[in-house]
DNA sequence: GTAGCATTCAAACGCCCGTTTTACCTACGA
DNA sequence: TCGTAGGTAAAACGGGCGTTTGAATGCTAC
C-alpha cells in the first residue's frame, strides 16, 4: 500500500525530472531517483526498461502538452483581427512560461530541456526534432505570412535565435538575479515580456 | 620521454575539453581523459589535485583570453569615429566566434561553456561571474552611452538575452543544419552576422 | 479459496568511478 | 658520485553505478 497519491511510474518520472534538472542525466543516479520517489530501485527497470528510456519518457510527458498548447495559442492569436508579431511570439513563449511556472515540476522540466540542448546527443536531438519539428514549421509559416518581405532563410535563422534566447531565459541561465520582493512568477513574466519585445524588434530588422 | 609536442598538463587540458564537450562533466571519466591524452591515470590528480579542479582549469585557460579579446575589440570599436551598435555587438560576438573556430579545441570549448550554463552549478556560476562580470559591466556601460534613452535595467535584460542567444548559437544548439558546400567557418560566420543584425534591432526596440 | 498475474522487494551481479599508494625513472646541483 | 626532487607508472582502494534475479506480496477473476 503506497502512502502517496501518485503511482509508482508517476513518482519516478517526477523525481527523475527534478534530479535530471539539478544533476544532469549522467549525474543523477537511479538510486537517487528511486530514493526521492520512495520506490524500490528495481522499479525503474521494471516500468521503463532502462535509464535511457526513462529519460525519453520524462521528455514525452511534457513535450506533447507544450507543443499542443503552442499550436493552439498560435491559432487563437491568428484568429484575432489585429494580431501582431507580439501576439505570435506570445503564442510561442507563453506556453513555455506557463510550463516553467507549473506546479509539480514544470520549472524543473525547462531546465531539463536546456540540458538536452547542451547534451548535443544525436538520439535526443532527433527525438526533439521529431516532436518539435512540425511546431517550428507552423510558426515559420505564420511568421512568413506576417513578414512577407523577409527572406525565408533569414526568418529561419531569426526564429532559431528566438528559440535559443527563450531556452536560455526559461532555464534561468542568465546573470540577472531576481530581486527581493519579486516572486519567481513575476520574474519569469517580466523575462517573457522583455524577450517578446526584443524578439519582435529583431524579427522586424531590415 | 613523451612522443608529443605538448606537456602532460596541456594534453590533459585538451583532452578534457574535448570530452567534457562531448560527454559532460559527469559523463566524461578521468580514465577516458587520460587515455585520450595518452598519459597515466594518476597524472590528473598529480597535476590538478582533483577532477573538480581540472574542470576549473579547463575554463581558466580559455576565459582569460576571451575576456581580454572582447574588451580590446570594444575599445577599438569605440575609438572609431562612426562606431555603431553593430560594431559594439561585433566586439562581443566575434571573439567568441574566433574562439569557436580556433584550431586546437576552441570549438569544443564553446560547447563546454554552454554546458556550464546548463549545469546551474553555483560554484561554477560564481567562477564565471567573477571572470565575466567586469566584461559585462564594461559592455553595459558602452551600450548605455550609445543608447541613452534606454532604461538601465531594460538594457541589462536585453544584453542577457544577447548573451543567451550567442551561447546557444556558438554551441550549435540550433536546429539549422549546415548546408553541404558550406564550411563550418562560413556557417558560424553567417550565424554571427544574423545574430548581430537581430540583436542590434532588438536593442534598438522602443 | 485459490490460481494467475502484476508489482514490489532485498540482494547480488560485474563494472567503472575518483583517488591514493608505492615504486621507479630521470635529471641536476652539491 | 650521490642525494634529491619532479615526474611517471602500475596497481589497488572503497564505493557507487545500471541492471538482473528470484522470492515475497498484493490484487482480480473464477
pLDDT exceeds 60 at position A4: no
Residue B103 has a CB neighbour count (10 Å cut-off) of: 6
Instruction: Answer whether A202 sits within 8 Å of B204, measured CB to CB.
Output: no
Query: Is the CB of residue A50 inside 7 Å of nucleic acid strand C?
Result: no
User: A153-194, pLDDT tens digit by residue?
Assistant: 889 888 888 888 888 888 876 666 667 788 878 888 888 898
Task: Determine contact, residues A149/B143, Cβ cutoff 8 Å.
Answer: no
Q: What's the pLDDT at B44?
A: 97
User: A96-155, pLDDT tens digit by residue?
Assistant: 988 888 776 778 998 998 888 888 777 777 777 777 789 989 999 999 999 999 998 889
Give the span between the Cα atoms of B143 and B125, in whole angstroms. Answer: 24
Quick one: what percent of chain A has pLDDT higher than 70?
Answer: 94
- What are the per-10-residue average pLDDT scores of chain B (206 residues)? 71 96 95 96 96 94 92 95 89 91 81 86 76 88 94 88 84 69 83 90 90
Task: Determine contact, residues B140/B88, Cβ cutoff 8 Å.
Answer: no
Query: Is the CB of residue A46 inside 7 Å of nucleic acid strand C?
Result: yes
Q: What's the pLDDT at A123?
A: 73
Interface test with B, best of A109, A117, A202 (most B CBs within 10 A): A202
Interface test with B, best of A139, A161, A197, A204 (most B CBs within 10 A): A161
Give the span between the Cα atoms of B190 and A157, in whole angstroms. Answer: 9
Average pLDDT, whole number, for chain A? 88
CA distance A2 to chain B (A): 33
Q: What's the pLDDT at A2?
A: 37
| Residues counted in chain A | 206
Residues 14-33 of B with CB within 7 A of strand C: 28-32
Task: Determine contact, residues A192/B184, Cβ cutoff 8 Å.
Answer: no
Quick one: what percent of chain A has pLDDT higher than 90?
Answer: 52
Tell which wins on pLDDT, A29 or A130. A29
Residues 67-96 of B with CB within 7 A of strand D: none
Grid coordinates representing A89 are 511570439
Q: What's the pLDDT at B2?
A: 38
Amino acid at each position: 500500500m503506497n502512502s502517496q497519491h501518485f503511482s509508482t511510474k508517476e513518482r519516478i518520472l517526477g523525481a527523475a525530472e527534478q534530479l535530471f534538472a539539478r544533476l544532469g542525466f549522467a549525474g543523477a543516479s537511479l538510486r537517487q531517483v528511486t530514493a526521492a520517489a520512495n520506490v524500490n530501485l528495481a522499479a525503474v527497470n521494471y516500468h521503463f526498461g532502462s535509464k535511457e528510456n526513462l529519460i525519453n519518457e520524462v521528455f514525452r510527458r511534457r513535450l506533447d502538452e507544450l507543443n499542443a498548447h503552442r499550436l493552439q495559442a498560435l491559432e487563437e492569436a491568428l484568429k484575432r483581427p489585429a494580431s501582431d508579431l507580439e501576439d505570435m511570439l506570445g503564442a510561442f513563449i507563453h506556453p513555455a512560461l506557463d510550463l516553467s511556472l507549473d506546479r509539480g515540476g514544470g520549472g524543473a522540466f525547462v531546465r531539463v530541456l536546456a540540458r538536452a540542448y547542451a547534451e548535443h546527443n544525436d538520439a535526443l536531438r532527433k527525438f526533439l526534432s521529431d516532436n518539435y519539428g512540425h511546431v517550428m514549421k507552423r510558426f515559420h509559416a505564420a511568421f512568413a505570412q506576417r513578414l512577407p518581405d523577409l527572406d525565408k532563410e533569414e526568418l529561419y535563422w531569426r526564429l532559431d535565435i528566438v528559440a535559443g534566447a527563450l531556452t536560455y531565459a526559461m532555464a534561468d541561465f542568465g546573470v540577472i538575479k531576481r530581486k527581493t520582493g519579486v516572486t519567481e512568477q513575476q520574474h519569469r513574466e517580466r523575462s517573457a515580456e522583455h524577450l517578446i519585445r526584443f524578439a519582435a524588434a529583431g524579427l522586424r530588422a531590415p
